[in-house]
């Protein structure tokens, strides 16, 4: 029989879960597929164009400084590379038709139109781009995970990245040029994920990405880099190497700061609803419990990776 006390506990548990979701966001789907990265993997030098095979981007700490790098798994031996030295070539072999399905209405593209797609599942002859938090030094030093933040995407068309679970799963949009930036997702430690990247037009695209995380020492670090895509057989990778992101717009940053200050004032008003100290107390309890849950999960993930390396 359900007692009032049991009902209150169930409600509190649901509230804590909701608070955890608000604090960290829903984690991106992960598929580590048994990937284990060699602790002695070398740093690549010189420019390369990667047109097929497995590629991840992610945070590294093995060089002694926190960096966003590209894990080049297209050759043997494998390399970590500076994003400025890499162009991801998306050939016409990656072209697909937009499905005539309401589930893909978020693309806002006419059904049947041809687009370039970096797939969630590897396809022969097409570059397969994902991300990971599996560099061994990151595994040893990252607290719970990292925030993957997309600051901007520049190019001639629209770009949407989304996950789809199985053949009948609803698409989960991760980031899109049709929404305002920055956009972000929480990536747990020892995660390896691939998603679909849809490019509406051929040409050069630049993705301004950042990984930010807290180390087990309590130090907070972030690293930012630019992913370079040359989409279409007729797009010259040299143009992608030469392309530069426009400088940040100071007026946009000031506008964002002003909006935030207005929101803070609204929250401090005398409107009806729970008093501020109650909300703070509930939030603190939720934070403590959620930190414990996430830290335990991340420790297990880190331990599995370390056991795999040994």
Long-range contacts of 100-105 (CB under 8 A, 24+ apart): 103/170, 103/171, 104/171
- Show Cβ contacts of residue 162 under 8 Å, excluding neighbours closer than 6 positions: 106, 171, 172, 173, 174, 195, 196, 198
Nearest to 154 by CA among 63, 18, 246: 246
pLDDT at 300: 53
Retrieve residue 226's tokens: 């630019």
- The CA distances from residue 59 to 80, 171, 191, in Å, are 10, 26, 11
User: Looking at the DSSP assignment, which residues form a beta bridge with residue 89?
Assistant: 230
CB atoms within 10 A of CB 18: 11
288 burial class (0-12, 13-18, 19+ CB within 10 angstroms)? Answer: exposed
Q: What are the extents of the domains in the chain?
A: 30-248
Reported as type and span, the H/E element at residue 124 is none
In the chain (310 residues long), the average pLDDT of successive 10-residue segments reads: 43 36 37 69 93 96 93 93 97 95 94 96 95 94 95 97 81 95 95 96 98 96 97 98 86 46 35 37 39 45 53
Calpha distance 143→182 (Å, rounded): 23
- Beta-sheet strand order (sheet of 203-215): 48-50, 86-90, 220-231, 203-215, 142-154, 183-188
Residue 253 tokens, joined: 């940053």
Rounded to an integer, what distance in angstroms lies between the CA atom of residue 91 and that of residue 132? 24
pLDDT at position 51: 97
**Pair of tokens at residue 29:** 């789907």
Contacts 24+ apart (CB under 8 A), 295-304: 295/143, 295/144, 297/188, 298/142, 298/143, 298/144, 298/145, 298/188, 298/189, 298/190, 301/188, 301/189, 301/190, 301/191, 302/139, 302/140, 302/142, 302/189, 302/190, 304/190
Q: Is 221 helix (H, G, I), strand (E, B) or coil?
A: strand
Helical H segments across the chain, by residue range: 4-24, 136-141, 237-242, 250-267, 276-309
């Amino acid at each position: 029989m359900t007692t009032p006390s049991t009902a209150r506990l169930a409600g509190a548990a649901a509230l804590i879960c909701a608070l955890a979701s608000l604090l960290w966001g829903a984690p991106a789907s992960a598929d580590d597929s048994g990937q284990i990265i060699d602790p002695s993997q070398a740093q690549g030098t010189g420019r390369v164009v990667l047109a097929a095979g497995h590629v991840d981007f992610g945070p590294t700490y093995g060089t002694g400084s926190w960096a966003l790098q590209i894990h080049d798994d297209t050759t043997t031996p494998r390399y970590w590379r500076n994003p400025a030295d890499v162009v991801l070539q998306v050939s016409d072999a990656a072209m697909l038709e937009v499905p005539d399905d309401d589930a893909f209405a978020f693309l806002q593209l006419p059904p049947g139109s041809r687009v370039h797609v970096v797939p969630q599942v590897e396809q022969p002859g097409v570059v397969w781009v994902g991300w990971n938090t599996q560099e061994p030094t990151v595994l040893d030093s990252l607290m719970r995970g990292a925030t993957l933040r997309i600051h901007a995407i520049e190019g001639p068309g629209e770009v949407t990245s989304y996950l789809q679970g199985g053949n009948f799963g609803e698409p989960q949009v991760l980031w899109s040029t049709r929404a305002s930036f920055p956009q972000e997702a929480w990536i747990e430690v020892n995660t390896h994920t691939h998603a679909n990247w849809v490019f509406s037009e051929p040409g050069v695209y630049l993705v301004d990405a950042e990984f930010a995380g807290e180390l087990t020492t309590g130090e907070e670090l972030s690293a930012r880099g630019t992913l370079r895509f040359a989409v279409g057989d007729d797009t010259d990778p040299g143009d992608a190497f030469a392309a530069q992101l426009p400088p940040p717009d100071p007026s946009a940053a000031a506008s964002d700061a002003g909006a935030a200050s207005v929101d803070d004032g609204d929250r401090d008003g005398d409107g009806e609803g729970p008093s501020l100290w109650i909300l703070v107390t509930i939030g603190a309890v939720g934070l403590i419990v959620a930190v414990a849950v996430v830290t335990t999960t991340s420790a297990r993930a880190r331990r599995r990776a370390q056991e795999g390396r040994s």
